Amino acid sequence: MTIKQIEVTVRDITTGYINNDEQGVRGYNGQLDIRPPYQREFIYSDKEQQAVITTVLHGYPLNVMYWVKRSDDAECPYEVMDGQQRTLSLCEYVAGKFSYDFKNFFNLTDDIKNKILDYKLTVYVCEGEASEKLEWFKTINIAGKPLNEQEINNAVYAGPFVSDAKRHFSKSNCGAYRLGKDLVDGTPIRQDFLKRALEWMADHETREGKRQTPVGYMAAHQHDPNANNLWTYFQNVLNWAQTNFDMKKFRRIMKGLDWALYYDKYRSETLDAADLGKRISELMTDGEIQRQKGIIPYVLTGDERFLDLRAFPQNIKLAVWEKQNHICPHCGKEYDFEFMEGDHITPWRDGGLTVIENCQMLCRECNRRKGAK
């Protein structure tokens, strides 16, 4: 790999700037690909954009940027490896997309405009094999917001699959966000939706008998012409969730659940959505349930562990332990307090409450044995 240092001005990189889905994001008179496939979406906040302009106006040094030189016959000979967020901030400001100090670029006097346009940027240009380029990309991720794991994976497995997947999962108002904003945690631009979709698909393939991981799935499909299978599965999962559970009533407890797990397990069954809704509504008013997000998993599986049921407080357990004379009523042996546990005499599922009248202190072994029945 060869590396050389060059200087370009803001005027140079903003000349011919375009940013659209058809032509991509280009600058430097069409010679610079500002957002190659492995790069993330624009994530700078307004404050961070403003800081870039402040740096330029004061003549302070802006961190160096890194470009990659493509092959001589490439339509666009350069791509931004590191510095995309700063480059976009400059291009968007000069293009009049945001204001600084309540002024747009076109409102400035000519001398201030030229001060910005003539500002010199230090760029290192590297030329080498694709594998060297991606390794260097990971190494120089030193400025701005650090890449997260999924953004690194997008770089390592760059190709038509990732490019198409990002179209569905990684843009601010992408299809995945519109469909799943109330069901999936995170934001598209930090790759949370794509990461979740890959996790779901990998788990799905594992349940189907093909041991898989999200990274393994990306590697296996890196050169697929599109990500249609991933996108279709994601849509099927969330459409199933929205069909069987009332989003208007239960949105608060639906977000962030592992919907793919339940889709794979119950999609062939005809669920009674009305009955499910009635049960969920009743459970949401039950003061014994400490974790309401576990209600839907509970009504599907019957596993009370999802609910994190209310435990007996320390004062009740101490009082009952003293009342029992430190004796476990099941095995008849005496135990110190720390070796005994509070147990519901009448279980929660049978209407038992977490009150002193419904408490007994069992030794750990007896409590485990009772819980296993």
Whether the Cβ atoms of residue 144 and residue 30 lie closer than 8 Å to each other: no
- Confidence at 144, pLDDT banded by 50, 70, 90: very low
Query: What pTM was estimated for this model as a whole?
Result: 0.63
Count Cβ neighbours within 10 Å for each residue of 240-275 and write b for 16 or more, e otherwise: bbbebbeeeebeebbeebebbbbbbeeeeeebeeee
- What architecture does CATH give domain 311-371? Orthogonal Bundle (1.10)
* Helices (runs of H) and strands (runs of E) counted in the chain: 17, 9
SS3 362: strand
| Segment (H or E) for 361 | strand 359-363
* Closest of 252, 221, 228, 225 to residue 175, by C-alpha: 228
DSSP secondary structure code for residue 330 in this structure: T
Question: Span 41-67, mean pLDDT?
Answer: 88
pLDDT tens track for 281-318? 999 999 999 999 999 999 999 998 899 898 999 999 99
* Closest of 267, 269, 268, 238 to residue 255, by C-alpha: 238
**What pLDDT score does 134 carry?**
65
**What pLDDT score does 321 carry?**
95
| Whether the predicted pLDDT of 177 surpasses 90 | yes
**What pLDDT score does 336 carry?**
95
- Domain locations in the chain? 2-147, 178-271, 311-371
Do β-strands 18-20 and 32-33 pair in parallel, antiparallel, or remain unpaired? unpaired
| Whether the predicted pLDDT of 43 surpasses 90 | no
Q: Tell me what percent of the residues of the chain surpass a pLDDT of 90.
A: 70
pLDDT tens track for 55-70? 999 999 888 888 989 8
| Whether the predicted pLDDT of 145 surpasses 60 | no
**What pLDDT score does 142 carry?**
45
- Confidence at 210, pLDDT banded by 50, 70, 90: very high
pLDDT tens track for 252-269? 999 999 999 999 999 999
Longest dimension (CA), the chain: 92
- Confidence at 143, pLDDT banded by 50, 70, 90: very low
DSSP 50-101: HHHHHHHHTTPPPPPEEEEE--TT-SS-EEEEE-HHHHHHHHHHHTTSS-BT
